[in-house]
Amino acid sequence: MTTTKPRLRFSRKLLAIPYALFLLVFVVAPLFIIIYYAFTNGDTGKLSFENFQNFFSGTAGQSFFESSRFKTIVQSFGISIASTLLCLLIAYPVAYIIAHSGLKNQMGLLLLFIVPMWVNFVLRINALKELLSWIGIYNKSDEWNIFNTILGMVYDFLPFMILPIYTTISKIDKSYLEAARDLGAGGVSAFIKVTLPLSKAGIMSGISMVFLPSMTNYVVSNYMTFNHTKIIGAFIDECFRNDHWNLGSVTALLLLTLMFVITWLTGGFNTESDTQSRGTSLW
Amino acid sequence: MVIFRKILKWGFIGLVLLFIYAPILLLTVYSFNEAETITDWGKFSWTHYEYFFNPENQPLPIVFQTICLALVVASLSTLLATVGAIGIFYSKRRVGTVLSGANQIPVINAEVVTAISLAFLFVAFQLPKSSFIPLIVGQMVLCTPFVVLSIIPKLKQMDNNLYEAALDLGASPTRALFSVVIPQISPGIVSGFMLAITLSLDDYIIAAYTKPNTFQTISTHIYSLAKGSTVEMIKSSYWALTAIIFVAIVVVVIVMNVLASKKAGKKQ
């Protein structure tokens, strides 16, 4: 009997092996293939930094800063920053109002914001496109295209911003606010000094769920602009389809680095907090 | 002043909801339109629905195979994730941290990067282009981490003494796992499964990189239609699908809410 008990504990741990192998082969190994392609020469397969030079060099006599690639990068960052800020500006008040509404059925109200997410993503984007052409601003000019892309990103990712922020705001102990008010803080300063700092985790988690996708989800940008506005995700897709795997890998590697930086800044690897993980709170 | 603030608050909520629902509602209305473009209103008609429900046209079989794919992917992901989550939960702290970290990668990584890395991997494996393995595995990479994330909290809430008690009462570890641990984490498993279905149904990017050439999901099909100058009728028949899905979801949500409030009412 004494020998079997340690063995039993051991057997439960063993259950992690299949998933560990799965992660190793299908998540970690593919990332190393990207690194391999990024650092090797396309023809000879030898180690080189050629791809990085190619990435950061202009085409046809232009410098990098004049090239269309630079424009794509700047545009992506612009679209992504604007989409994230807009999501935040819309999501925070929504989450705040719901959390402070005093309604019994807050989840029901919150559900109203999530329900459209259960319609297929491409169908949804298609619906937004049809709405824009109905209004008459679809594919009208470059400026409208950028605006429409941002609109598409916000439309698609807004719930991912609302949910974590709502979760953190609704968990704030109301007595903190009362204490702030008792100590003489006005409504605004109580908000800035109590609610806002305490909901920071939700904001960060929301940003981490919106920022990178709105830089890379080329389905939205291609769909909303009839392929006229290019973002980094579309560039990677193009590289892959045209067999420029090395260049595509360099871009993917830069995005991967960016992902780790953002995740580190927003604390996304901290799996302890339950506001993390986009979508799990959808159910 | 209070009333003014109330109007401002709920007005804002209303505007955001309008923004979220306007596109789908517009398509729902126009799905009953005879014309095939959104800019002109013909007569009321069922043509889009007739086209959509005719099995000889493309949309219906594609919807069917997309649902089948989602069920396969979600089942496999849930199985893998349930076993994996239990394993992660009981492994040593350091191992658990590494595995949870790796589990986060597909969650936060840009989908196109995940997709391209998987495409490279499957090219290296030299699988035939008609193989479904890349598509199924690819979507599993997308879904499984989310299922793990919905099961882990349930494991943390679980009363660990019950498992020990089952062992003390003579149950084998396997038996104890199935009749004590699994029932306690089943809400997490179910919600993870549902989440996996929605993720698979929603996915465009992974599918575009890993699917067999001749296979289409709803997402890839609509996207391919948007590019070319294909027959408008196919495009507009998907408006009917949008309307159907939307109405179905609304009905399900209402029924669930009514049932939940009835339950709550009984308890009171």
Residue of chain A whose alpha carbon sits nearest to that of B106:
A27
- For residues B42 and B228, the model is more confident at B42
Question: In chain B, pLDDT over 90 holds for what percent of residues?
Answer: 55
The alpha-carbon gap from B222 to the nearest alpha carbon of chain A, in Å, equals 7
Measure the CA dihedral B201/B203/B206/B210, to 10°.
Answer: 30
Residue of A8, A6, A13, A26 whose CA lies nearest to B83: A13
Chain B residues touching A217 at Cβ < 8 A: 111-112, 205
Supply the pLDDT for residue A3.
46
Q: What share of chain A is helix, strand, coil (3-state, %, to 5)?
A: 75, 0, 25
- Residue B7: its H or E element: helix B2-30
Give the closest residue to A150 by CA, choosing from A212, A89, A214: A214
- Does A263 contact B104 at a Cβ distance shorter than 8 Å? yes
| For range B86-95, the mean pLDDT | 90
**Residue B46 contacts residue A142 (beta carbons within 8 Å):** no
Q: Is residue A163 part of a domain?
A: yes
Q: What domain range is A225 assigned to?
A: 72-243
Residue A281 has pLDDT above 50, yes or no: no
Burial A108-138 (b: 16+ CB within 10 A, else e): ebbeebbbbbbbbbbbbbbbbbbbbebeeeb
Please check whether residue B14 touches A, CB under 8 A.
Answer: no
What mean pLDDT is predicted for residues A183-193?
84
A202 in a domain, yes or no? yes
Instruction: Tell me the per-residue pLDDT of B52-88, one tens digit each, with 9 for 90 and over.
Output: 898 888 889 999 999 999 999 999 999 999 999 999 9
Higher pLDDT, B77 or A108: B77
In this structure, of A42-46, A263-267, B17-21, B195-199, the range with the lowest mean pLDDT score is: A42-46
* Interface membership of A111 toward B (CB under 8 Å): yes
Which residues of B fall within a CB distance of 8 Å from A119? 24, 242, 245-246, 249
pLDDT score recorded for residue B228: 63
Residue A262's pLDDT is 87
Of the candidates B108, B116, B149, which has its C-beta nearest A240's C-beta? B116
Q: Which residue of B has its CA nearest to A235?
A: B112
Q: Is A11 part of the contact surface with chain B (CB cutoff 8 Å)? A: yes
A97 lies in a domain? yes
pLDDT in tens, A110-135: 888 988 888 889 999 999 998 998 88
- Indicate whether A148 pLDDT > 90: yes
CB nearest A108 (choices: B83, B111, B257)? B257
CATH number at residue A87: 1.10.3720.10
pLDDT at A272 over 50: no
Sort out which chain A residues have CB atoms less than 8 A from B124's CB and list them: 33
pLDDT beyond 60 at B246: yes
Is the pLDDT at A43 greater than 80? The verdict is no
Domains of chain B: 59-215 (1.10.3720.10)
B259 vs A: CB within 8 A: no
CA distance A59 to chain B (A): 24
**SS3 state at B44:** strand
**Mean pLDDT over residues B7-31, rounded?**
92
C-beta of residue A181 within 8 angstroms of C-beta of residue A227:
no
Average pLDDT on B7-24 reads: 93
Cα separation, A80 vs A91, in Å, equals 16
Token reading at B58: 């493309």
Mean pLDDT of A213-239: 91
Q: What is the mean pLDDT of residues B167-193?
A: 90
Q: Which of A118, A148, A147, A132 has its CA nearest to residue B22?
A: A132
Mutate to test the interface with A, among B16, B48, B76, B112 (most CBs of A within 10 A): B112
Q: For residues A49 and B129, is the Cβ–Cβ distance under 8 A?
A: no
In DSSP notation, A36-97 reads HHHTB-TTT--B-SHHHHHHTS-STT--GGGSHHHHHHHHHHHHHHHHHHHHHHHHHHHHHH
| pLDDT-derived band at A7, boundaries 50, 70, 90 | very low
CA separation for the pair B102, B109 (Å, rounded): 11
Using a CB-CB distance cutoff of 8 angstroms, which residues of chain A are in contact with residue B177?
12
From chain A, the residues in CB contact with B113 under 8 A are 34, 216, 236, 252, 255-256, 259
Comparing A55 with B194, the larger pLDDT belongs to B194
Adjacent-strand bridge partners of A40:
A47
pLDDT band at A147 (very low <50, low <70, confident <90, very high): very high
Cα–Cα distances (Å) from B78 to B82, B144, B151, B192, B235, in that order, read: 6, 7, 10, 7, 34
B22–chain A Cβ distance below 8 A for any pair: yes
> Is A3 inside a domain boundary?
no
Query: Tokens 């979220």 correspond to what residue?
Result: B20
In a domain, A49, yes or no: no
Burial of B40: CB neighbours in 10 Å, binned 0-12, 13-18, 19+: exposed
Closest approach of A225 to chain B, Cα-based (Å) = 11
Q: How far apart are CA A192 and CA A190, in angstroms?
A: 6
Tokens of B61: 């079989």
Report which of A21, A263, A224, A200 is spatially closest to residue A125, judged by C-alpha positions. A224
Residue A65 lies in a domain: no
Judge whether A4 is closer than 8 Å to chain B, CB to CB: no
Our CA-based measurement puts residue B137 at a distance from the nearest CA of chain A, in whole angstroms, of: 8
Confidence grade of residue A276 (pLDDT, cut at 50, 70, 90): very low
Q: Classify residue A51: in a domain, yes or no.
A: no
Tens digit of pLDDT for each residue in B109-132? 999 999 999 999 999 998 888 899
Residue in A101, A120, A117 with CA at minimum distance from that of residue A109: A101
Say which residue, B254 or B68, is predicted with more confidence.
B68
Share of chain A above pLDDT 70, in %: 89
The total of structural domains in chain A comes to 1
Contact B113 A223 (CB under 8 A): no
pLDDT above 60 for A180: yes
- Answer whether residue A282 shows pLDDT above 50: no
B150 touches chain A (CB under 8 A): yes
Q: In this model, does residue A106 exceed pLDDT 80?
A: yes
Question: How large is the average pLDDT for residues A158-177?
Answer: 90
Residue A31 lies in a domain: no
Interchain contact, B253 vs A111, CB within 8 Å: yes
Termini Cα distance of chain A: 43
pLDDT of A274 reads 44
Instruction: Tell me the β-bridge partners of B44.
Output: B33
Tell me what the pLDDT averaged over chain A comes to. Answer: 85
Q: Could you report the predicted ipTM of this complex, rounded to two decimals?
A: 0.89
Contact A111 B108 (CB under 8 A): no
**Is residue A236 packed enough to be buried (19+ CB in 10 Å), middle (13-18) or exposed (0-12)?**
buried
* Higher per-residue pLDDT: A186 or A74: A74
Q: How confident is the model at residue A273 (pLDDT cuts 50, 70, 90)?
A: very low
Burial class of residue B148, CB neighbours in 10 A (0-12, 13-18, 19+) = buried
Please tell me the distance in Å from A3's CA to the nearest CA on chain B.
14
The pLDDT confidence band at residue A83, using thresholds 50, 70 and 90, is very high
Specify the range with the lowest mean pLDDT, choosing from A120-129, A195-204, A274-283, B10-19: A274-283
Give, as one character, the DSSP assignment of residue A204.
Answer: H
Quick one: angle between helices B182-202 and B59-90, nearest 10?
Answer: 140
Let me know: does A211 contact A80? Beta carbons within 8 Å.
yes
Best interface-test mutation with A: which of B25, B120, B201, B256 has the largest number of A CBs within 10 A?
Answer: B120
- Say if B43 is an interface residue toward chain A (CB within 8 Å): no
CA dihedral A52, A35, A267, B83 (to 10 degrees): 160
**DSSP H helices in A195-244:** 196-198, 200-210, 213-216, 218-225, 232-241
Share of chain A above pLDDT 90, in %: 45
Count Cβ–Cβ pairs < 8 Å, chain A vs chain B.
Answer: 260
Interface test with A, best of B117, B143, B227 (most A CBs within 10 A): B117
For B128, phi then psi, to 5°, come to: -65, 150
Identify all chain A residues contacting B109, using CB atoms and an 8 Å cutoff. 212, 256, 259
Contact between B27 and A9 using a beta-carbon 8 Å cutoff: no
